[in-house]
């Protein structure tokens, strides 16, 4: 039985992780849980899975959580980044699953690796901010980093069809989000409720907005560059509205290997948890005859400039990807709060990239400093709009 520590248990990915654990109680057990402020759901998860340690985002949330749990759990509650790092390095955990959203995932991921834990990664920001540093740590500590994002899981699976030296190109698919066919004027008037209505996937608020701007795909390009050690110019993005082909690998002989499946995150989650085995999940199967046509198109970099900016940040190197990520987090929050318009998200990120971003990509403190500076730059840009 594999012992798991789960970071971000109350989010969309975290809930799906627990659904898989619940379905296979003879194969997995939960030893650590962390969440932000959703203490009611976290309390229910604690009562069900009985972890030995629990982390929440802040002291007031810890007090609220303690009030919802039996007294013997109170000594097990920790808080903040330090709490997440403690969950990630629990001695009893064999694997840590990072399902948190945003830059808060970086330090716990590093703590898990340094503690010798295999890492199931759904937090793409970890590799966006510090890809080279993280992958160096993975190699030096001899652990496995297993992707949970559906696109990176698809590539991970397709790479098993051939030798790494024969790979010509990685092809990430993007649904195009809810605004794929909208013109520029309509995009300027888009509101959060429309952006959150993803056509295919049920996702959290931040990732839904990133999908609508195509920033999510830009972050995935940066993640793929480090995860699979492939040069950026050999990572391509195509828009695939049906979300059936989750990503593809093209080999030097012209063969293209794709991973297909229904859009259900339990599939890549279960594969990461059980790798190299596959679990019988009891999900509906993909009926190819019922799929109808599968279409592919080039992304529109003019209407959706976030993808282009991600490639540029990756090419610039250093801490620029960390700046991109931090500014985007601030801009997305501002859009959700209706402080800025949809198209202004990219404008805020562009301003932060122009004004911040000096530092060594292998220097953790420089990365964290760039994250802080980019957030301040983004807030200034928002104030100026």
* Domain assignment of residue 48, yes or no: yes
Determine the length of the chain. 385
User: What pLDDT score was predicted for residue 74?
Assistant: 87
User: Where do runs of H (alpha helix) occur along the chain?
Assistant: 12-23, 39-49, 59-68, 80-88, 106-114, 125-141, 150-158, 184-188, 192-195, 205-213, 215-227, 266-274, 288-291, 306-316, 320-336, 344-355, 364-384
User: What pLDDT score was predicted for residue 201?
Assistant: 65
User: What pLDDT score was predicted for residue 63?
Assistant: 94
Q: Same domain for 284 and 185?
A: yes
* Domain assignment of residue 309, yes or no: no
For residue 372, the domain's CATH number is 1.10.1740.10
d(CA 257, CA 371): 37
Q: Same domain for 232 and 288?
A: yes
Q: Same domain for 26 and 89?
A: yes
User: What pLDDT score was predicted for residue 385?
Assistant: 85
User: What pLDDT score was predicted for residue 202?
Assistant: 67
Q: Same domain for 133 and 159?
A: no
User: What pLDDT score was predicted for residue 289?
Assistant: 84
Domain count, the chain: 3
Q: Same domain for 98 and 34?
A: yes
Q: Same domain for 129 and 18?
A: yes
Cβ burial 313-341 (10 Å sphere, 16+ → b, else e): bbeeebbbbbbbbbbbbbbbbbbbeeebb
Distance of CA 186 to the CA centre of its chain: 28
Q: Same domain for 143 and 13?
A: yes
Give the residue ranges of the chain where pLDDT is below 50: none
Q: Same domain for 191 and 126?
A: no
* Domain assignment of residue 103, yes or no: yes
Provide DSSP, 273-286.
Answer: HHTTS-----PPP-
Structural domain boundaries, residue 214:
150-261+271-294
Q: State which of 128, 147, 166 marks the end of a domain.
A: 147
* Domain assignment of residue 300, yes or no: no
Q: Which two tokens stand for residue 41?
A: 């759901």
């Amino acid at each position: 039985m594999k012992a798991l520590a789960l970071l971000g248990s109350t989010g969309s990915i975290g809930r799906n992780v627990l659904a898989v654990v619940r379905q296979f109680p003879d194969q997995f057990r939960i030893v650590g849980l962390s969440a932000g402020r959703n203490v009611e759901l976290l309390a229910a998860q604690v009562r069900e899975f009985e972890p030995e340690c629990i982390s929440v985002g802040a002291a007031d949330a810890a007090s609220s959580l303690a009030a919802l749990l039996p007294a013997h759990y109170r000594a097990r509650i920790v808080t903040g980044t330090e709490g997440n790092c403690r969950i990630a390095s629990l001695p009893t955990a064999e694997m840590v699953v990072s399902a948190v959203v945003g830059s808060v995932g970086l330090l716990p991921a590093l703590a898990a690796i340094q503690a010798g834990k295999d890492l199931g990664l759904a937090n793409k920001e970890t590799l966006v901010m510090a890809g080279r540093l993280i992958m160096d740590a993975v190699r030096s500590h001899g652990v496995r980093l297993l992707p949970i994002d559906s696109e990176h899981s698809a590539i991970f699976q397709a790479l098993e069809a051939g030798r790494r030296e024969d790979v010509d190109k990685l092809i990430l698919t993007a649904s195009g989000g809810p605004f794929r066919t909208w013109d520029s004027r309509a995009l300027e008037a888009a509101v959060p409720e429309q952006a959150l209505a993803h056509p295919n996937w049920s996702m959290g608020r931040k990732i839904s907005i990133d999908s609508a701007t195509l920033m999510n795909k830009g972050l995935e390009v940066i993640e793929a560059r480090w995860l699979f050690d492939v040069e950026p110019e050999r990572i391509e993005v195509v828009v695939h509205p049906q979300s059936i082909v989750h990503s593809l690998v093209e080999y030097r002989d012209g063969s293209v290997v794709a991973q297909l499946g229904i859009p259900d995150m339990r599939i890549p989650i279960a594969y990461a948890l059980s790798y190299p085995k596959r679990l019988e999940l009891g999900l509906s199967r993909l009926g190819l005859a019922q799929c109808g046509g599968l279409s592919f198109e080039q992304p529109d970099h003019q209407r959706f400039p976030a993808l282009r900016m991600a490639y540029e940040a990756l090419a610039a190197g250093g801490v620029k990807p960390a700046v991109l990520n931090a500014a985007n987090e601030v801009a997305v929050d501002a859009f959700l709060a209706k402080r800025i318009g949809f198209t202004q998200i990219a404008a805020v990120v562009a301003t932060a990239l122009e004004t911040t971003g000096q530092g060594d990509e292998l220097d953790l403190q420089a990365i964290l400093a760039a994250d802080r500076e980019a957030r301040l730059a983004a807030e200034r840009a928002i104030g100026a709009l």
